[in-house]
Every structure is written in structure tokens, then in C-alpha cells.
């Protein structure tokens, strides 16, 4: 029997009856409490990536840690990390050759290479021993902030603030989209696409992983964005790969999972996945979403070129916010770039208020960093036109299907609910669960409500 990629055991465990515990209040509390540690570990890894070859002093200096006793322990941890990164980089070079440059490999060889790449990459990304070895690691800030001055930012963005739609305009062209070799998943055909950046805010090429029941022209398509800080297929387990990509592909649809700017392979040197988004608010939010929306416009047009009779966009958390913004601002876009449907999960609106008051920004120090830089609530409100969907949607309101948690304090739903009401999204289109932010993700993982809605709407509009 030919080899194929496997569904990770952790996903099967979440789907099991025991996985119901992950939607409870105690789990939400534990997950929130551990978030600063998770982001701090990611920062140690990113700093070690850049400094491990230089030495202990460079690593400690960048983290703001005084040179201390126990340097051998730090040196040993950095050397182990350097070895993990070398192994990861070597496999990435091999993977690039096989999947993008026509390198020689059988189908089974591609499966083995992809499996090994993700295993080795996951070891590099976790970097738990750096947290244990680094002195005073718990005092290291989870984010290395570079918050802009309010007066400078508002002056620089003045013209966009007067015309927010101009910040979220469609790209003026659709670049050539390159397609990789395929690899079989569990009852799926999987491959990657990439294309040059279509945004002035990012330099790295855009990329996405694609899931299909088979390589076939004319499949209804969903473009779906993951949340903040995700590393996508640099880890062995990527939840959206399972509960969206493979779940819907086996039902007969194409699913495109794009990498957000500054995430995954698109990390900035010395920064972890998503850190620039957190580090330079509020300007960084506009830059990410403006780039994200333009890239999704390209992917929508590409799907139509591939014969998709209908294209929907969706996402969770950061991806859900991007979906809501896209659904609002895409009205003037060319038809081929405009999605037919929108499925935001755990979205927020009025992101100035999210910055000022969400649990996430409090836990990670974003709120304090904004205040230290002079961003009061009133100054943030001046930036709100670029951080809020417009009053009139670009996707017809009857084609918008939101999913949210009523107890979500990470990406509070209240302002998004108000936007949806202003748009006239019908009550029967809205799904609200009595869960928090992580509960939305686990509910999407464990149940098929979202996937059933996507499938039903793609089918109806394809007909």
C-alpha cells in the first residue's frame, strides 16, 4: 500500500470524549495563564536562531539579561539549539529541491521527506531547554516592543485614515502562482502554492498549503486563515490542517490554508511567528491585515482560474478578523478577486478596543507598551477607521456566517456582533457558543457545525 501522511495522534485525542474537557472554564483559565510562557519560549527560540552561532553574550545581551553564573548551561543549550536548527535547515533545503525544483523522489520518498521535515522542524521550534537554561527567563518580556509614536503614526497614515478602503485595496495584478509537487494525505492530495508579495508591507513571498480530494479542475474552494503565532506546517500538528483542510477535502472541496505575513516560513530574522504584529501596534495590525487581504485576493483569483464555481473565505481568531475585514472592504475589488461567502470564527472588530482591553494584550504586555509610548484610548480611537470594518459590507450580508464564543475575552465578540447587525447579517446565519476563545477552536475541532455550514453553502452557491 502506498505511503501517505498521517493524522497526528493529538488530533485524534482531541476528537475523543476526553477532549470535551478542553472546552471547560478550568482549561480556558490554564491556557490563558500559560500564554506568556508560550510566547516567551518562542522569543527565546527566535533570539537563539540569530545569536547561537555568535555566543552566550550575544544571546543574553539581546534578551537584556546581565551576564551571570551558569553560563555553561546556557552555552550547552544554545549549542543543542544550533544543532537542531542546522538539521531543520538541511531538511528544508532538501524539501525545496524535491517539492519545488523537480528533485528526484518517489511518491513514498516525498511522504518520508515531508514527515521527517516536520518532525525535525518541530524539535527546533519547541526549544523548551532554552527556557530552562536561560537565567531569569521568566523576566524576559514575551514581546520585544517597538511601538511607534502616536503623532508620527497618525501623521504617516493620515491619508489612509481619511479613506480606509484605500489601505485595503485589491492588488492591481494577479502574479503567477507557482505550484509544488504533490504528496498524498489521508484520503487527500496535498501541495503548496506560492507567489511574489503583492503588498508594500511585506517582502517575503506569500505561500499556502492546498488540500483536495484529488487533483481536479472545478472544485468549490475555501481560503481559511489560522490564528496569531501559528507556525503552520513547520510543526507536526497544525490543527487547521485536520479540522478544515483534510475534513473538507475528503468531502469534495478544495481548501487553501495561507501563511499570514510574519508567520511560519515568513518569520522575520530574530522574531518569532507573529511577533511583529504584537510588537509595533497599532500600525502593525493594519500592515498585516492589508497584506493578508491582498494575498487572499490573489488566492481567490487563482482558485477561480482553477475552475472553482464558488470561493469562500474564513478563518479563526486572527484569521477570523481578517475575514471580517475582507468581507467589509472587498466591495470595490474586481469580481475575480472577491469571495462569494465569508465564514469568520472568533472574530473581533474595533481593534483599537481589542488593543486597549483584551485579555491577550494584557497578558503579553501590549497594553502597557502602548501606554508607555503615549497611546491613550482616545489616540487609539483616532486610528480606529483602519481597525474596523466599514458600515457597508462587500460580501452580501446573507452570505456571511459568523461563529463565536460568548465568553471570549481574547478576541471579544461584542463589537463584531454590532458590525454584523449593522450589515444586516441574518440571525439564523450566526452561531454563538457558551465558550471562551480557545473553546471556539476546540468546538471547531471536535464538532462539524462549521464544516457542515461551509459545505452546505459552497454546494448551494455552486449550483
**The pLDDT of residue 418 is above 90:** yes
Q: Could you read off the pLDDT of 201-221 as tens digits, one per residue?
A: 999 999 999 999 987 778 999
User: Residue 2 — very low, low, confident or very high, per pLDDT cuts 50/70/90?
Assistant: low
Q: Which of 270, 274, 304 has its CA nearest to residue 292?
A: 274
User: Residue 25 — very low, low, confident or very high, per pLDDT cuts 50/70/90?
Assistant: confident
Query: What pLDDT was estimated at residue 128?
Result: 84
**The pLDDT of residue 463 is above 90:** no
The number of C-alpha atoms within 13 Å of 167 and in the hemisphere containing its C-beta is: 28
**The pLDDT of residue 369 is above 70:** yes
**For the residues 105-112, what does the mean pLDDT come to?**
91
**For the residues 399-428, what does the mean pLDDT come to?**
97
**The pLDDT of residue 19 is above 60:** yes
Measured distance CA(243)–CA(221) in Å, rounded? 15
Q: Could you read off the pLDDT of 333-351 as tens digits, one per residue?
A: 999 999 999 999 999 999 9
User: Residue 381, Cβ neighbours under 10 Å: how many?
Assistant: 14
Contacts of 249 (CB under 8 A, 6+ apart): 185, 187, 188, 189, 211, 212, 213, 255
Query: What pLDDT was estimated at residue 176?
Result: 96
Query: What pLDDT was estimated at residue 1?
Result: 47
User: Residue 424, Cβ neighbours under 10 Å: how many?
Assistant: 12
Query: What pLDDT was estimated at residue 262?
Result: 97
User: Residue 128, Cβ neighbours under 10 Å: how many?
Assistant: 11
Measured distance CA(311)–CA(380) in Å, rounded? 34
Q: pTM for this one?
A: 0.96
Q: Which cell is 259 given?
A: 501563511
**The pLDDT of residue 304 is above 90:** yes
**The pLDDT of residue 34 is above 60:** yes
Query: What pLDDT was estimated at residue 355?
Result: 96
- Residue with grid cell 446573507, as numbered in its chain: 398
In the chain, the domains with their CATH numbers are 38-136 (no CATH), 150-462 (3.40.50.1820)
* 8 A C-beta contact, residue 117 and residue 125: no
Measured distance CA(326)–CA(168) in Å, rounded? 8
Strands 254-258 and 311-316: unpaired
DSSP class of residue 170 equals: P
Which has the minimum average pLDDT: 18-32, 112-126, 370-384? 18-32
Q: Could you read off the pLDDT of 238-276 as tens digits, one per residue?
A: 999 999 999 999 999 999 999 999 999 999 999 999 999
Measured distance CA(80)–CA(12) in Å, rounded? 31
Query: What pLDDT was estimated at residue 21?
Result: 82
Amino acid at each position: 500500500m502506498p505511503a501517505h501522511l498521517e493524522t497526528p495522534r493529538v488530533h485524534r485525542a482531541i476528537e475523543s470524549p476526553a477532549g470535551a474537557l478542553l472546552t471547560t472554564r478550568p482549561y480556558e483559565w490554564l491556557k490563558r495563564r500559560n500564554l506568556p510562557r508560550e510566547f516567551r519560549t518562542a522569543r527565546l527560540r527566535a533570539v537563539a536562531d540569530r545569536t547561537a552561532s555568535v555566543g552566550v553574550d550575544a544571546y543574553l545581551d539581546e534578551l537584556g539579561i546581565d551576564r551571570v553564573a551558569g553560563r555553561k548551561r546556557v552555552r550547552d543549550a544554545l549549542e543543542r539549539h544550533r544543532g537542531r536548527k542546522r538539521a531543520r535547515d538541511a531538511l528544508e533545503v532538501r524539501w525545496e529541491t524535491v517539492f519545488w525544483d523537480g528533485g528526484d523522489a518517489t511518491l513514498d520518498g516525498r511522504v518520508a521527506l515531508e514527515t521527517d521535515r516536520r518532525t525535525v522542524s518541530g524539535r527546533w521550534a519547541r526549544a523548551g531547554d532554552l527556557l530552562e537554561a536561560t537565567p531569569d527567563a521568566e523576566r524576559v518580556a514575551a514581546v520585544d516592543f517597538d511601538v511607534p509614536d502616536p503623532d508620527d503614526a497618525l501623521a504617516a497614515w493620515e491619508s489612509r485614515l481619511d479613506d480606509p478602503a484605500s489601505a485595503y485595496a485589491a492588488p492591481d495584478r494577479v502574479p503567477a502562482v507557482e505550484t509544488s509537487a504533490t504528496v498524498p494525505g489521508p484520503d487527500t492530495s496535498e501541495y503548496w502554492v506560492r507567489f511574489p508579495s503583492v503588498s508594500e508591507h511585506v517582502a517575503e513571498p506569500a505561500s499556502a498549503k492546498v488540500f483536495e480530494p484529488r487533483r481536479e479542475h472545478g472544485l468549490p474552494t475555501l481560503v481559511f486563515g489560522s490564528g496569531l503565532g501559528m507556525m503552520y506546517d513547520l510543526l507536526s500538528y497544525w490543527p487547521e490542517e485536520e479540522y478544515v483542510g483534510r475534513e473538507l477535502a475528503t468531502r469534495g472541496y478544495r481548501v487553501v490554508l495561507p501563511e499570514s505575513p510574519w508567520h511560519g516560513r515568513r518569520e522575520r530574522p530574530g522574531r518569532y511567528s507573529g511577533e511583529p504584529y504584537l510588537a509595533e501596534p497599532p500600525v502593525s495590525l493594519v500592515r498585516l491585515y492589508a497584506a493578508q487581504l491582498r494575498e487572499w485576493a490573489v488566492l481567490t483569483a487563482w482558485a477561480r482560474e482553477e475552475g472553482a464555481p464558488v470561493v469562500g473565505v474564513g478563518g479563526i481568531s486572527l484569521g477570523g478578523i481578517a475575514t471580517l475585514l475582507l468581507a467589509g472592504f472587498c466591495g470595490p475589488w474586481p469580481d475575480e478577486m472577491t469571495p462569494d461567502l465569508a465564514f469568520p470564527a472568533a472574530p473581533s472588530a474595533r481593534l483599537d478596543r481589542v488593543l486597549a482591553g483584551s485579555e491577550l494584550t494584557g497578558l503579553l504586555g501590549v497594553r502597557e507598551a502602548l501606554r508607555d509610548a503615549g497611546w491613550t484610548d482616545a489616540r487609539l480611537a483616532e486610528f480606529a477607521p483602519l481597525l474596523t470594518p466599514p458600515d457597508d459590507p462587500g460580501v452580501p450580508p446573507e452570505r456571511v456566517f459568523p461563529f463565536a464564543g460568548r465568553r471570549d475575552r481574547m478576541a471579544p465578540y461584542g463589537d463584531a456582533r454590532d458590525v454584523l447587525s449593522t450589515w444586516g447579517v441574518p440571525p439564523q446565519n450566526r452561531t454563538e457558543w457558551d465558550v471562551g476563545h480557545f473553546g471556539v477552536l476546540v468546538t471547531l475541532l471536535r464538532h462539524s457545525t462549521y464544516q457542515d455550514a461551509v459545505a452546505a453553502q459552497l454546494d448551494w452557491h455552486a449550483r
